[in-house]
Amino acid sequence: MKRLISCSASDYKNMTREDFKQSIVSSEGRTIMGETVVTAAPLLEGVTNAEVMAAFGVDLIVLNEFDVFEKKIEGFYDCENPIEELKKLTGRPVGINLEPVDETAVVLDDKVVISEGRKVHRESVIAAENLKVDFITITGNPSTGVSNESIKNSIEMVRGNFSGLIFAGKMHGAGVSEEVVNTPELKEYIRLGADGILIPTVGTVPGLSEEKASEAVREVKKLGGLVINAMGTSQESADEDTIREFGLSNKRVGGDIHHIGDGGYGRMPIPENIMKLSVTVRGKRHAYFRMSQSIHR
């Protein structure tokens, strides 16, 4: 199995879930995931944010606020299956966020109510499977009221109805006052069937040290889980020096995937920051390889 950073578009087509996971592990902390909000107008007219992110070097694309029933991407032409269409256009695996809203959770500010097609439940997961989504991140957007407990309670159901990779965890509090990096909870996510977990990149949420993040990563990896270090606090629109610092911190912590979020112009990462992260964590050789490679290979 090829390392993900060495894969061509055709390599993804016949990957099993275990192949996909192993290709990420084999890349040794040099995989980049880019996120974009599909309900916002794209950065550039006539091209999707997914295509821009791919051009600047992301390996994995995750769509935020994608409703699996409406299947709409702002600024994209109508098609029966936009997930498959984006995979053809970018040559990249494409995933989505689904949110297990905790209706009992106390939200710190005005609660954001989301559609059923964005929530975690059996019908939405089956819809994602039918759309041939490559991976699902079980997580929460700001103020939606997603809790650690609701994430944990959703994993077995998702695993039972979805054949792709599953990542579970938080990039930030999602409006709920609780510990974002809770190592026993993260370990339980893996035991329940998640392939990997999300934790915030050190420096993006208050009080998270590299020591604490490293401990969580070590414990999750003992169970065979992948780790996404997530940049999801709009600091993905900070200066390039900050992005470089985040990337190197992720390396020291020991994560597998560098996530860069949707807080930039056009509700995607600033393109130059994607490139900065890419060069920082894998050097120009691999960064330019990913940027230059034809999707027809």
Number of H helices, E strands in the chain: 10, 8
Number of domains in the chain: 1
In a domain, 7, yes or no: no
In a domain, 17, yes or no: no
CA angle centred on 146, ends 164 and 141, rounded to 5°: 75
- Specify the pLDDT at position 150: 94
Phi, psi of 226 (to 5 degrees): -85, 160
Cβ count near 243 (within 10 Å): 27
What would the pLDDT profile of 105-156 be if each residue is shown by its tens digit? 878 778 889 999 999 999 999 999 999 999 999 999 988 889 999 999 999 9
Smallest CA-to-CA distance from 244 within 200, 202, 198, 276 is with 276
In a domain, 256, yes or no: yes
Radius of gyration of the chain (CA): 17
- Specify the pLDDT at position 280: 98
How far is residue 1's CA from residue 3's CA, in Å, rounded to a whole number?
7
- Specify the pLDDT at position 107: 81
In a domain, 108, yes or no: yes
User: With pLDDT > 70 as the criterion, what percentage of the chain qualifies?
Assistant: 99
- Specify the pLDDT at position 196: 98
Smallest CA-to-CA distance from 21 within 163, 196, 156, 255 is with 196
Beta-sheet strands, E only, within 4-124: 31-37, 60-64, 94-98
Per-residue pLDDT of the chain (297 residues; tens, 9 = 90+): 799 999 999 999 889 999 999 999 999 999 999 999 999 999 999 999 999 999 999 999 999 999 999 999 999 999 999 999 999 999 999 999 999 998 888 787 788 899 999 999 999 999 999 999 999 999 999 888 899 999 999 999 999 999 999 999 998 876 677 788 999 999 999 999 999 999 999 999 999 999 999 999 999 999 999 999 999 999 999 999 999 999 999 999 999 999 999 999 999 999 999 999 999 999 999 999 999 999 999
Which residues, other chains included, contact 32 with Cβ-Cβ below 8 Å and sequence gap of 6+?
57, 58, 59, 60, 257, 258, 259, 260, 274, 277, 278, 281
In a domain, 102, yes or no: yes
In a domain, 206, yes or no: yes
Question: What pTM was estimated for this model as a whole?
Answer: 0.95
In a domain, 74, yes or no: yes
In a domain, 65, yes or no: yes
- Specify the pLDDT at position 173: 73
- Specify the pLDDT at position 20: 97
Q: Which domain holds residue 132?
A: 29-292
Specify the CATH number for the domain of residue 160.
Answer: 3.20.20.70
Greatest CA separation found in the chain? 49
CA angle centred on 231, ends 40 and 179, rounded to 5°: 110
Tokens describing residue 7: 């894969």
